[in-house]
Amino acid sequence: MAIVIDGKLISQQIQEELALEVKTIKTNGGKTPHLAAILVGNDGASETYVGAKVKACEKIGFKSTLVRLSQDTTEQELLYIIKGLNADADIDGYIVQLPLPKHINEQHIIEAVDPKKDVDGFHPQSVGRMALNLPTYLPATPYGILQLLERYKIETVGKHCVVIGRSHIVGSPMSILMARNTNPGNCTVTMCHSRTANLKEFTLKADIIIVALGKPEFLTADMVKDGVVVIDVGITRVTSDSTKSGFKLLGDVKYDEVAAKSSFITPVPGGVGPMTIASLLVNTLKASKKEVYK
Ligand code: NAP
């Protein structure tokens, strides 16, 4: 039976470690790390995500600033706010919560963020530096997965890792990170997507499978070999008669049957999800300490 990777616990541990470090920094008269977040419009899920990030900052002693903008904010107006955050010496790092309203070009916004403050790791410079294994801010979800693999001491060297999904925020960076000459890393990586023919042929050979496609219970027991490590990134809200709220969250993995064949597996919820905030906070502290860009 699989060891269940407890992302909630690891995320809490990381946040406690960060809180201790911030306390020491403050005691020694150092600068309080400061994260800002821009939220455009009032999408319910985005409000929840940003709210959780701000709350996490407060809990560990960071400063946080939430910039709320209305749904009809223009791209020019948003670029002006970004210019201000780039120039604000007190703000160490900031995020622009995605998705943005349709009339704003996301790529223009991502590229306007000063790479020195790009704690989401989405700027092309950050992505390029990641690929070249240079110091940078790693995107939060993939970074969170690396931290889970590291803290559970999961061997990755020489393993065959299959990544399903090639989004810019999860699948693509994950495939780069698992192939890098780092630990965790040094895998032989197969990147799969919606055009992959015979996906099962690849998953059956995988030692590690990272699933990030957003299709509930997509990965089934017949697609994996015994002893596989399974990292489930998917989160889909589905209606349910068995919960008070009337909905539940499902991952991309048919959990019970795949867990029975796995050596390690992340649950949903409580696996990869909680790690995203922890990684963002780690990146913000790095920005504050000027660890990435001196
Ligand atoms: P996305 O941008 O929609 O990308 C999905 C990827 O899956 C695409 O590359 C797509 O291929 C591929 N795909 C779709 N159907 C497939 C199939 N049948 N076989 C193989 N590949 C297929 O999704 P995302 O943003 O990466 O998010 C993926 C999931 O992770 C979602 O459930 C999301 O909610 C969740 N997520 C969780 C966290 C977190 O835990 N903190 C963070 C981010 C995302 P093509 O490129 O060919 O279209």
Give dist(CA 203, CA 199) in Å, integer.
6
Q: Residue 278 falls within a domain, yes or no? A: no
Asked if residue 145 and residue 110 are part of one domain, the reply reads: no
| Structure tokens that stand for 107 in this block | 């790529």
Task: Check: CB of residue 221 under 8 Å from CB of residue 253.
Answer: no
Asked if residue 160 and residue 111 are part of one domain, the reply reads: no
Q: What is the CATH number of the domain that holds 204?
A: 3.40.50.720
Residues flanking ligand 1, CB < 6 Å: 141, 164-167, 169-171, 192-196, 199, 212-215, 233-236, 272-273, 276
- Give the active site residues: 53, 97, 120
Helix (H/G/I), strand (E/B), else coil: 27: helix
Q: Residue 145 falls within a domain, yes or no? A: yes
Residue 138, burial from CB neighbour count under 10 angstroms (0-12, 13-18, 19+): buried
Q: What is the arithmetic mean of pLDDT over 287-292?
A: 97
Q: Residue 73 falls within a domain, yes or no? A: yes
The CA 91 to ligand 1 mean position distance, Å, reads 31
The pLDDT tens digits for 234-249 are 999 999 999 998 999 9
Residue 1 has pLDDT above 90, yes or no: no
- The DSSP result for 28-62, as a single string, is TT-PPPEEEEEEES--HHHHHHHHHHHHHHHHHT-
What is residue 294's predicted lDDT score, i.e. its pLDDT?
A: 84
Mean model confidence pLDDT for the chain: 97
Show which of 119, 149, 184 is a domain's final residue. 119
| Counted domains in the chain | 2
Asked if residue 164 and residue 68 are part of one domain, the reply reads: no
Q: Are strands 228-232 and 236-239 parallel, antiparallel or unpaired?
A: unpaired
Q: What is the CATH number of the domain that holds 94?
A: 3.40.50.10860
What is residue 277's predicted lDDT score, i.e. its pLDDT?
A: 96
Task: Check: CB of residue 129 under 8 Å from CB of residue 73.
Answer: no
Q: Which of 49, 233, 248, 276 to mutate to test the pocket of ligand 1 (most atoms within 8 A of CB)?
A: 233
Q: Are strands 236-239 and 247-250 parallel, antiparallel or unpaired?
A: antiparallel
Give dist(CA 274, CA 255) in Å, integer.
18
Task: Check: CB of residue 275 under 8 Å from CB of residue 235.
Answer: no
Name the residue at shortest CA distance from atom 2 of ligand 1: 167
45 versus 24: which is more confidently predicted? 24
Q: What is the arithmetic mean of pLDDT over 207-226?
A: 98
Q: Residue for token digits 């706010």?
A: 81
Asked if residue 168 and residue 269 are part of one domain, the reply reads: yes
**What's 173-195 look like in SS3?**
HHHHHHHCCCCCCCCEEEEECCC
Name the residue at shortest CA distance from atom 6 of ligand 1: 165
The pLDDT tens digits for 31-82 are 999 999 999 998 998 999 999 999 999 999 999 999 999 999 999 999 999 9
Q: Which atom of ligand 1 is nearest to the CA of 251?
A: 32
The pLDDT tens digits for 111-121 are 999 999 999 99
What is the extent of the structural domain holding 191? 140-273
The CA 233 to ligand 1 mean position distance, Å, reads 8
The pLDDT tens digits for 98-151 are 999 999 999 999 999 999 999 999 999 999 999 999 999 999 999 999 999 999
Q: Which of 270, 286, 294 is nearest to 8 (CA)?
A: 270
- E strands, the chain, where? 3-4, 34-40, 63-69, 93-96, 160-164, 188-192, 208-211, 228-232, 236-239, 247-250, 262-265
Asked if residue 88 and residue 190 are part of one domain, the reply reads: no
Asked if residue 46 and residue 163 are part of one domain, the reply reads: no
Cα–Cα distances (Å) from 283 to 23, 138, 140, 232, 289, in that order, read 17, 8, 8, 23, 10
Give dist(CA 21, CA 19) in Å, integer.
5
Show which of 86, 119, 152 is a domain's final residue. 119
| Structure tokens that stand for 118 in this block | 């790009």
Q: Residue 210 falls within a domain, yes or no? A: yes
Asked if residue 150 and residue 262 are part of one domain, the reply reads: yes
Q: Are strands 228-232 and 188-192 parallel, antiparallel or unpaired?
A: unpaired
pTM to 2 decimal places: 0.97
Asked if residue 161 and residue 249 are part of one domain, the reply reads: yes
Asked if residue 146 and residue 82 are part of one domain, the reply reads: no
